[in-house]
Amino acid sequence: MQTVNILSLTHLGAADKAQIQAVDPAVRLTDAGGWFDGEYRETWPAFTAERYLKPGTTGRGTREERDRLLAEADIVIGGWPFPLDLRARAPRLKWLHQRPAGASNLLRGDLWGSDVIVTTSRGAANALAIAEYAVAGITFIAKGLHRAAIDRDAETFAARAYRPLLLDGKTACIVGAGGIGGQVGRLCAALGMRVVGTRRHPPTEPLPAGFSYVGGAADLDRLLPDSDVVVICCQWTPETERLFNKDRFAAMKPGSILVNVARGEIIDEDALADALARDHLRGAALDVYVGEFERPPIASLWSDPRVLITPHISGASDEERHGGTDLFCDNLGAWIDGRPMRNVIDWERGY
């Protein structure tokens, strides 16, 4: 077989490189992590560059050298950010693998809707770390821990204001019971919670570990009124944009908790702020928000002490548990052999 040129736009560790190169003798891997940082600073919002690039990085090589790397690539391993004109500069490109789990990350660039095969690390990324974050957010709100900061600033305790909840026996609804959602449900069940969920295509038996029920998207409205906790883990697609709107918040159980570890655009943030203002919800933990790559959160949410907002850090941890390399290598073998690949984005479906 002729040489397969793989270009990684994100830094890879030595073990990852060795694993990829071991798939087939024809593989030639080039690690260009950091090379395009200067371009990202010029083409992406300053807010994005400040958040996702190392301070002071300006990239490597000349524009001509970077163009040559892209022009020679048969396969690209992408990260975040990425060259917005990647398709135009990579005429030989057959396949791009996106190490993040979210397909919506690619909406900005010229790859979306193109003839290039694109796969993601959906279900194989840092699912356990994200699930632990979701449980931490649930517990933070359930135990009223936001009150500690209020009391510290006031230099006095208001003990009755905490109103802690017992999670054992409560119901958690996981919206998007896939790879990440499955781990969230498993951890919630370990706390003694009853776990239900939804996904685009309900699984056949057996159910994911810890779940007592998983239905389709149409079952969400039936599950919300009985759910004490709702965790959003689904992909952002045209079908899920503003999935949680005024009507859905009204359908949620009074005093319930909302957690979002997916994408901010799945929530109508004005409707969420209104539900909180009416005390319909106990609180929300949001690792994502609308426009997170361009600006801070809206003031009505960021200023509310019942809302925990973090800068999309739920997948981070002190251990590398990202399964994207395993998934990529499985797909690389399939691509070389002409077999079907996993996690190929359906442009019409949106993931």
For 274-331, how does the pLDDT look when each residue is reduced to its tens digit (9 = 90+)?
A: 999 999 999 999 999 999 989 999 999 999 999 999 999 999 888 877 788 999 999 9
Q: Show the tokens assigned to 198.
A: 């939804």
pLDDT, one tens digit per residue, over 32-58 is 999 999 999 999 999 999 988 999 999
CA atoms within 13 A on the CB side of 256: 24
Catalytic residue ranges: 263, 292, 312
pLDDT at 261: 98
Using an 8 Å Cβ cutoff, are 244 and 232 in contact?
yes
Domain with CATH 3.40.50.720 in the chain: 4-124+322-337, 127-309
What CATH class is the domain 127-309? alpha beta
Phi, psi of 231 (to 5 degrees): -120, 120
Q: Show the tokens assigned to 27.
A: 């593989």
Name which of 69, 82, 68, 71 is nearest 112 in CA terms: 82
pLDDT more than 70, % of the chain = 100
* CATH superfamily for domain 4-124+322-337: NAD(P)-binding Rossmann-like Domain (3.40.50.720)
pLDDT, one tens digit per residue, over 221-245 is 999 999 999 999 999 999 999 999 9
Please give the model's pTM, rounded to 2 decimal places.
Answer: 0.90
pLDDT at 264: 97
Give the integer Cα–Cα distance in Å for 299 and 275.
15
